Chain A
Amino acid sequence: MTSEPATRAPQKREYAGTDTSRRPVWQRALRWETGLVVVLVATLIFGTARSSDFLNSTTGFYIGLNMGEIAIMALPLMLIVITGEIDLSVASMLGLSGCVMGQLHSQGWPIGLAMVAALVVGALGGALNGVLVARLGLPSIAVTIGTLTLFRGLAEIVLAPRTITDFPAWMTSIGVVPVPGTQLSYSTVIFLVLAVIFGVVLHATRAGRAIVATGLAPEAARFAGIRVNRVKFGLFVLSGVMCALAGILFTLKNASVSYDAGTGLELNVVAIVLFGGVSIFGGRGTVIGVVLSVVIFGTLQQVLTQMQVQPEVQNIIIGGLLLVSVVLPGGGEAVGRLRARLRTGPHLARAAGTRRLAPPSSSDSSMQSEEKK
């Protein structure tokens, strides 16, 4: 009906695992998270069976220590993925902000000020992503591959080949001692607090609704007065700041920073978010799922390392879990399709490569076809 040519590229969604339109979101999410709980319990039982003192507070402390920064970066990434975008530059931003903090501190800045500067750098980097994605409308996957390289390169310019180590001991002790009165590492506590905040924001505020609506139906969101681009821009800035926070914690935990800090962590962060049940197509995901995913990854790493499982096998297990996490939800539908294929012959299956094409499995398809008049 618009004069806009209909040849404008359709939705960039490619292969949605399932057509979920018939079941409310929370039911599906609940199901996925139930699965995560089962996996977690299985991992814990496994770990305890292997070593009787696996389930002690030290293990929890270590898991938190190892996963803290990754977990913190996973929270804003979850929101970005829910809006249908992605941020691959997270680990580079972690490195860059850590380097900026280290460099400034080594030049005599007070540590507090250096941290603020790192957060500002995070916000600026996030804003760069945000401008390119939200304002210029560039594909976030390409943009953030670019900024992944750019941020890491800037870190290299700032710091390489030096390693900054002279941080105040009272600050670097956060990598060794738990928060007083608890058995949890500082990064764990920060993550848990943030997770609660993110959970409330995502699930109970206007901003959260705006994020979900943006991911599920960007146009409808715009028509409901949601400033889709501003939402996305804000989330990228948030991501930058959170990654900078993670960079600060990472630096203090290690009591040192070099330009390659955190190299390659982006894939871990993405894997955790996706394993947590956040749909790569946007619109779906819960904080609980991501928290569970973090705990599972951390626990698994501890169990496997203690079992002296080679790190290579750990990689295979991570990859396998990731694959299962996307294949499983689509599995039921795939079986149904195969059955349909057997019933109706090969033609249907040949046309089955794309979504929303082959026989529609929901009532709305008919509505769609009927109303375009």
Chain B
Amino acid sequence: MGNTRRWRRKAASALILAAVAVTAAACSSSSSSSGGTTPTSSSTQAASGTIKKGLLVYFIPKDTQNPYEVIADNGGKKALTELGGKVVVSSGTADTAAAQIPSIQAAIQAHANAIVIAGNDPSALCPSLNQAARAGIKIVSFDSDVTCGSSPDHLFINQANTQQIGESEVSLLAAEIGGSGQIAILSAAASATNQNAWIVYMKQELAKYPNMKLVSTVYGNDDPATSLQVLQGLLSAYPNLRGIISPTTVGISAAAQYLDTHKNLLSHLTLTGLGLPSLMRKYVEDGTVAKFELWDPGNLGYLAGYAAASLASGMASLTPGSSFKAGTLGSYTVLAPTAGVGPSVVLGPPTVFDKANINNYHF
């Protein structure tokens, strides 16, 4: 399975590279073609130099119930409130692309100015998003990117550099377990784009630690109960497991809770990953988890909100190197497309939380 997967991954990367090449070409042409429209509008915008009032931005999170997404959505609302616009949060109750499509359609029919979406599927949403783009709606993705190639053009608000997260996760764990032993990954859904992207970089980084062996990747589907069940199976299958990386807020919290109630495991097992400080505070304070990292999802949504509003007002573009202002977060520069990721901005480096600083964060 691992082999095929790697093969698949390579093939995919090759495809994506090819796509990127095309995109890059298309971008230059599209920037010139969009340059036909954008400069005119931006020239008028530039004259006032402000973001339009009364913008309507649809935030389409993975689902309406994920706490992480809710915090991000609230960040977006905050941004649009500052800008005198309005945010509508719309999605399904389940993490499926099918449940998000009606929300995209609703955005089109409501003549929204921009859509900010966290994709449940890298490509299933592309057809719908294309329709939205054709209707003149600016597309911003955040949290989990959609990989539609060049169509539609969209800006990805990257929570943190994908590669950086993958690497830092591994190095955090390596530092704690002395760089040797069996480790495992407790992920969300097997089809989650961001998870899989991070895992790719984790594996690359692991090559630097010859004594650390990734024995298994299990999927908790971002459901506490499933996460617990697969974790238990993992522990049973690999009694000598030294470390677990759970790059999902639900997974790490479920795993921490289990370790918290089975402290005997802590003598040889270390947990790290991506978690919300509010969920993890208790476990950091009582020593169950030493370190984990994350960015502020509220800021992520806030940035996405500003990016969407700026794009819709012609105050920002997808051109690499261009920049826009994001309220209290300062100014951001659009990065050039890289393998698998189109134009993007990065929120910033993730924060590593530990006993010393966790009480400073309240998301």
Chain A residues at the B interface, C-beta cutoff of 8 Å = 51, 53-54, 58-59, 62, 65-66, 106, 156, 160-163, 165-166, 172-173, 175-176, 250, 253-256, 258-260, 262-264, 301-302, 305-306, 308, 310-312, 315
Contact = CB atoms under 8 A, between A and B. Distances in A.
B102 A163 contact: no
Contacts of B98: 66, 250, 254, 262
Contacts of A311: 64, 91-93, 99
A255 B101 contact: no
A224 B191 CA distance: 52
Given A305-B103, A311-B99, A258 B94 contact: no
Contacts of B123: 163, 165, 254-256
Q: Among A59, A176, A254, which residue has the most Cβ atoms of chain B within 10 A?
A: A254
A106 B4 CA distance: 12
Contact of A305 (B90, B147, B219): B90
B191 A62 contact: no
A290 B226 CA distance: 36
A300 to B, nearest CB: 11
Interface string B101-124: 111011011100000000001111
A53 B121 contact: no
Given A254-B97, A315-B93, A173 B105 contact: no
A302 B105 contact: yes
A306 B110 contact: yes
Contacts of B15: 166
B124 A254 contact: yes
Closest 9 CB pairs of A and B: A161-B190, A254-B124, A258-B191, A175-B127, A165-B123, A256-B123, A176-B127, A256-B124, A305-B106
A310 B64 CA distance: 8
Contacts of B122: 163, 165, 256
B109 A58 contact: yes
Contact of A259 (B108, B109, B190): B190
B321 to A, nearest CB: 29
Contacts of B219: 160-161
B196 interface: yes
B187 to A, nearest CB: 8
Contact of A161 (B5, B93, B94, B96): B5
B93 A258 contact: no
B109 A163 contact: no
B189 interface: yes
Contact of B93 (A263, A308, A312): A312
B186 to A, nearest CB: 13
A302 B190 contact: no
Contacts of A51: 109
Q: Chain B interface residue count: which class?
A: 35 or more
B323 to A, nearest CB: 32
Interface in B59-111: 64, 88, 90-94, 96-99, 101-103, 105-106, 108-110
A279 to B, nearest CB: 29
B168 interface: no
Contacts of B124: 254-256
Given A301-B102, A308-B88, A312-B93, A53 B191 contact: no
B131 A161 contact: no
Nearest to B63: A311
Interface of B: 5, 8, 15, 64, 88, 90-94, 96-99, 101-103, 105-106, 108-110, 121-128, 130-131, 147, 189-191, 193, 196, 217, 219
B252 to A, nearest CB: 19
A255 B123 CA distance: 6
B92 A263 contact: no
Contacts of B94: 263-264
Nearest to B15: A166
Given A161-B196, A302-B102, A315-B93, A260 B127 contact: no
Contact of A256 (B8, B64, B110, B121): B121
24 contacts: A66-B101, A106-B8, A160-B191, A160-B219, A162-B5, A162-B8, A162-B191, A163-B123, A163-B193, A173-B127, A176-B127, A176-B131, A254-B98, A254-B125, A254-B127, A258-B190, A259-B191, A262-B98, A302-B106, A305-B90, A311-B93, A312-B64, A312-B93, A315-B93
A163 B94 CA distance: 18
A160 B187 CA distance: 13
A253 B91 CA distance: 19
A253 B5 contact: no
Given A162-B8, A165-B122, A262-B98, A253 B127 contact: yes
A59 B123 CA distance: 23
A306 B109 contact: yes
Contacts of B96: 260, 263
Contact of B130 (A176, A260, A262, A263): A176
Contact of B102 (A62, A156, A175, A262): A62
Contacts of A106: 8
A102 to B, nearest CB: 11
Residue of A173, A308, A312 with highest tally of chain B CB at under 10 A:
A308
A35 to B, nearest CB: 25
A331 B193 CA distance: 50
A293 B93 CA distance: 22
A139 to B, nearest CB: 28
Contacts of A161: 5, 190-191, 196, 217, 219
Contacts of A310: 64
A260 B189 contact: yes
A160 B190 contact: yes
Contacts of A58: 108-109
A143 B108 CA distance: 42
A209 to B, nearest CB: 37
A202 B92 CA distance: 35
A149 to B, nearest CB: 14
A60 to B, nearest CB: 12
A88 to B, nearest CB: 17
Nearest to B88: A308
Contacts of A160: 190-191, 219
A88 B206 CA distance: 44
A59 B94 CA distance: 23
